[in-house]
Amino acid sequence: MAPDSRPGLRGRARRVAAQWPTVLLLGVLWMLLWGDIALGTFLAGVLLGLVVVAVLPLPSVGVRGAVRPWPLAVLVWRFVADLVLASFQVAWTALRPGPQPRGGVVAVPLRPAPDVLFVMTAELSSLVPGSLVVESDSAAAVLYLHVLDLAGSGGPDGVRRQTRALEERVLRAFGSAQALETAGLGPRGAAS
């Protein structure tokens, strides 16, 4: 082996070792994929995960954040509640007699935040039935949401209020102290 290839090999081994949570998650996903919860299946998944992480490395996101348990629990609880409620609202909208509701696209300006948290807000907004992100502008921090029943959602202002509340829950659950400060949600900023 050439002397200059060793640092690359060591660097790759360090990168794979640093991604052990990903490798374990891939092992669990492998068990779920096969529908066989067994040690052998898990170990095969871990081995395959090691190969995937070593051969197909993902670039570092480079975002500092935090996981705050209570705000995360609030985020999950409210998301599940919104999901269930919106499912019933969409079903009622589809089945009720009378004229069909008017939908629309609403521009929702968000707070300045890291791209990862912006994308998380967009994804959670799209997962709730009755709304879909049709465009996003991360540079200007604006989401464009198509809403199935604009009047039933409180109009454009109601959609903006709901989306900004979701964004605040995401920021409080995962944002770093600096991200919260920049968004006006830190100790010196007021919640909006």
Asked if residue 29 is part of any domain, the answer here is yes
Q: Quickly state the pLDDT bin for 63 (edges 50, 70, 90).
A: low
Q: Do 169 and 82 have their domain in common? A: yes
Instruction: Tell whether 63 is covered by a domain.
Output: no
**CA 176/CA 1 separation, integer angstroms:** 44
- Residue 190: the pLDDT is 46
Q: What SS3 string covers 104-124?
A: EEEEEECCCCCHHHHHHHHHH
Instruction: Judge if 163 and 99 occupy the same domain.
Output: yes
Average pLDDT score over residue span 110-120: 89
Structure-token pair, residue 130: 């009755």
In a domain, 124, yes or no: yes
Of 64, 47, 59, 48, residue with least CA distance to 15: 59
Q: Which residue has the tokens 């779920």?
A: 32
Per-residue pLDDT tens for 135-165? 999 889 999 999 998 888 899 999 999 999 9
Whether 149 and 100 map to the same domain: the answer is yes
Query: First and final CA of the chain: distance in angstroms?
Result: 60
Q: Do 82 and 40 fall into the same domain?
A: no
Inform me whether the pLDDT recorded for 83 exceeds 60.
yes
Candidates 177, 61, 161; CA nearest to 120 is: 61
Question: Could you tell me the CA-to-CA distances from 75 to 46, 140, 174 in Å, in that order?
Answer: 30, 24, 10
pLDDT 10s digits, 117-136: 899 999 999 988 889 999 99
Q: What is the pLDDT of residues 64-74, one digit of tens each?
A: 678 889 999 99
pLDDT, averaged across the chain: 84
Residues 49 and 74 in one domain: no
Instruction: Check whether residue 91 and residue 160 sit in a common domain.
Output: yes
On whether the CB atoms of residues 46 and 28 are closer than 8 A, the answer is no
**pTM of structure:** 0.70
pLDDT the model gives residue 189: 44
The domain in which residue 122 lies consists of: 69-182
pLDDT of residue 181: 87
Question: Which of 7-21, 37-51, 101-115 has the least mean pLDDT?
Answer: 7-21
How many folded domains does the chain comprise?
2
